[in-house]
């Protein structure tokens, strides 16, 4: 009766959020027996027959736990392969729970495995109820630790002095917050990837505020909006007479950010010819102003952002692979707003409070229909579009609560409307969205397709909250 109750608890827990379990054993009949026992309990299983395959799986996928045998070579009982595997697993992920399987009488091996980081052991042939209970206990402990780490990470970010408001309670944002908590205090270069308007600069500002450089400046540069002719001057500065319009010495962004953080947005748009110069500064910490032979030492933490697939850009020859390696010591991927809809009410409330105060409007909140409209909308412009939408609604609202009509959101069928029903701005915004979608978010390609300069397209994207 007790065993059945515990088994039911495991099944309930697994159904709430299926546990991914990696199992390593060289005997097919053992793997099959474990599959028959654990699959009905709701576990998602990955089964391998060698330590090498187990390590490969851990290197490519995430698991909630590992169940491993200690012997893999036929007719051996030393357990050394399994003990080495325990050590390697804990080196890869110090938090992941490891349960080892041993033959009857090999208690010394089990003790050594636990000394190396295993959480528990089971003897073969096992008792089903005991094995299920051990796995359940280890998984619940692991998940409890992860929840605690999540809360600690969230608290560290929220406590960062001077940091912008960072709203991220959706499940899809947990890995983002955990990564920020780990790398924020370091000097590691960070690449932030995500669609336009997902909040990449807010993440960069938060990382800077969490670092030891927080008392120095974070200098932001939108590299996508820089004409190629002024790129070097903007980043490295110039001396008087370096070129026709250089009427005085100018300090560049690298010098301004020295001792602090340099944030380069839209990094994929840097011309290939200029990428080599950026790489040199990152590798050596040395640079010269345009027109000068004097070498200067700069010390910056580099945070960059892009909405492009930089690996694809490297493959196409448009981005240097060695520069990518320098930029993405750590990579943070921001999900689009449509994948974190749980955050929409909190984000909308934050923007509402800000704009109501700015425009001195006594607006109490959102009508239910307005909130439902926001939750159903796809938000192609992400958080930036939500920001602009709420600002407009605050200005347009007639009463003390925002109604759905105040939002001005185009229905998903807006493109199907006849042109004479749309304003010029609506048509232009739709065309820009379609061009960006066709170019997979590459602003340069979209601008070329629309017959605009890159700077002109950026100004329109800002105008329409894209």
Return the number of other C-beta atoms located less than 10 Å from residue 221's C-beta: 22
Among 79-83, 203-207, 290-294, 439-443, the range with the most confident prediction by mean pLDDT is 203-207
| Threshold 0.95, pTM exceeds | no
Above 70 in pLDDT, residue 350? Answer: yes
Could you tell me which of 272, 269, 316, 277 has the C-alpha nearest to residue 446? 269
Among 17-26, 156-165, 195-204, the range with the most confident prediction by mean pLDDT is 195-204
Distance, CA of 404 to CA of 397 (rounded, Å): 10
The predicted pLDDT at position 390 comes to 94
Could you tell me which of 171, 114, 136 has the C-alpha nearest to residue 38? 136
Above 80 in pLDDT, residue 12? Answer: no
Distance, CA of 311 to CA of 307 (rounded, Å): 12
Token pair in block for residue 69? 């045998």
Domains of the chain: residue spans and CATH: 2-145 (3.40.50.2300), 160-333 (3.40.50.300), 337-409 (1.10.8.60), 413-466 (1.10.10.60)
DSSP state of 410: P
Do 233 and 190 contact (CB within 8 A), yes or no? no
| Better-scored residue on pLDDT, 151 or 21 | 21
Above 70 in pLDDT, residue 421? Answer: no
Do 121 and 100 contact (CB within 8 A), yes or no? yes
- What is the Cα Rg of the chain in Å? 28
Return the number of other C-beta atoms located less than 10 Å from residue 263's C-beta: 28
Mean pLDDT of 253-257: 89
Token pair in block for residue 366? 């959102």
Residue 263 main-chain phi, psi, to 5 deg: -110, 115
Above 50 in pLDDT, residue 411? Answer: no
Could you tell me which of 60, 107, 52 has the C-alpha nearest to residue 84? 52
Query: Per-residue confidence at 322, pLDDT binned at 50, 70, 90?
Result: very high
pLDDT in tens, 92-136: 887 889 999 887 667 788 888 888 999 888 888 899 999 999 998
Mean pLDDT of 176-201: 91
Q: Residue 246 class from Cβ within 10 Å (0-12 exposed, 13-18 middle, 19+ buried)?
A: middle
The predicted pLDDT at position 154 comes to 55
Distance, CA of 402 to CA of 310 (rounded, Å): 41
pLDDT in tens, 187-199: 899 999 999 899 9
pLDDT in tens, 23-44: 999 899 999 999 999 999 989 9
Query: Per-residue confidence at 79, pLDDT binned at 50, 70, 90?
Result: confident
pLDDT in tens, 426-451: 777 778 877 877 776 777 778 877 77
Above 70 in pLDDT, residue 3? Answer: no
In 125-181, the DSSP E strands lie at none
Asked which of 104-108, 157-161, 261-265, 423-427 is least confident by mean pLDDT, the reply is 157-161
The predicted pLDDT at position 232 comes to 85
Query: Per-residue confidence at 59, pLDDT binned at 50, 70, 90?
Result: confident
Neighbouring-strand partners of residue 44: 20
Do 408 and 396 contact (CB within 8 A), yes or no? yes
Distance, CA of 464 to CA of 432 (rounded, Å): 9
| Better-scored residue on pLDDT, 56 or 60 | 56
Mean pLDDT of 391-412: 85
């Amino acid at each position: 009766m007790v065993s059945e109750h515990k088994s039911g608890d495991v099944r309930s827990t697994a159904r709430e959020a299926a546990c991914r379990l990696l199992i390593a054993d060289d005997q097919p009949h053992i793997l099959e027996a474990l599959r028959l026992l654990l699959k009905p309990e709701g576990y998602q299983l990955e089964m391998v027959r060698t330590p090498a395959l187990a390590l490969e799986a851990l290197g490519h996928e995430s698991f909630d736990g590992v169940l491993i045998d200690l012997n893999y070579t036929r007719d051996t009982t030393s357990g050394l392969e399994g003990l080495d595997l325990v050590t390697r697993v804990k080196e890869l992920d110090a938090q992941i729970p490891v349960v080892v399987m041993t033959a009857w009488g090999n208690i010394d091996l089990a003790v050594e495995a636990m000394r190396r980081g295993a959480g528990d052991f089971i003897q073969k042939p096992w008792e089903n109820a005991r094995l299920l209970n051990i796995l359940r206990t280890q998984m619940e402990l692991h998940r409890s630790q992860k929840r605690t780490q999540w809360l600690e990470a969230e608290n560290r970010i929220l406590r960062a002095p001077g940091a912008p408001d960072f709203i991220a309670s959706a499940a899809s944002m947990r890995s983002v917050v955990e990564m920020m908590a780990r790398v924020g205090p370091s000097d590691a270069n960070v690449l932030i990837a995500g669609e336009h308007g997902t909040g990449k600069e807010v993440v960069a500002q938060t990382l800077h505020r969490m670092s030891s450089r927080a008392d120095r400046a974070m200098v932001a540069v939108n590299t996508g909006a820089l004409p190629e002719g002024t790129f070097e001057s903007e980043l490295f500065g110039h001396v008087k007479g370096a070129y026709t319009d250089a009427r005085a010495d100018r300090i560049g962004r690298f010098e301004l950010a020295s001792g602090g953080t340099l944030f380069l947005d839209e990094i994929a748009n840097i011309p290939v010819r200029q990428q080599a110069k950026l790489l040199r500064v990152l590798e050596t910490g040395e640079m010269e102003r345009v027109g000068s032979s004097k070498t200067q030492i700069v010390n910056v933490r580099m945070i960059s952002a892009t909405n492009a697939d930089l690996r694809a850009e490297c493959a196409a020859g448009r981005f240097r692979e060695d520069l990518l390696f320098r930029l993405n010591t750590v990579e943070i991927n921001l999900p689009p707003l449509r994948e974190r809809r749980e955050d929409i009410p909190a984000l909308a409330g934050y923007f509402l409070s800000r704009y109501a105060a700015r425009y001195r409007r006594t607006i109490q909140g959102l009508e239910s229909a307005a909130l439902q409209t926001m939750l159903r909308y796809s938000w192609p412009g992400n958080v930036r579009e939500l920001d602009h939408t709420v600002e407009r609604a605050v200005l347009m609202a007639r009463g003390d609560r925002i109604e759905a009509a105040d939002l001005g959101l185009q229905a998903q069928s807006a493109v199907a409307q006849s042109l004479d029903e749309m304003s010029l701005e609506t048509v232009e915004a739709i065309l820009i969205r379609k061009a960006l979608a066709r170019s997979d978010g590459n602003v340069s390609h979209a601008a070329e397709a629309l017959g605009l300069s890159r700077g002109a397209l950026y100004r329109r994207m800002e105008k329409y909250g894209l």
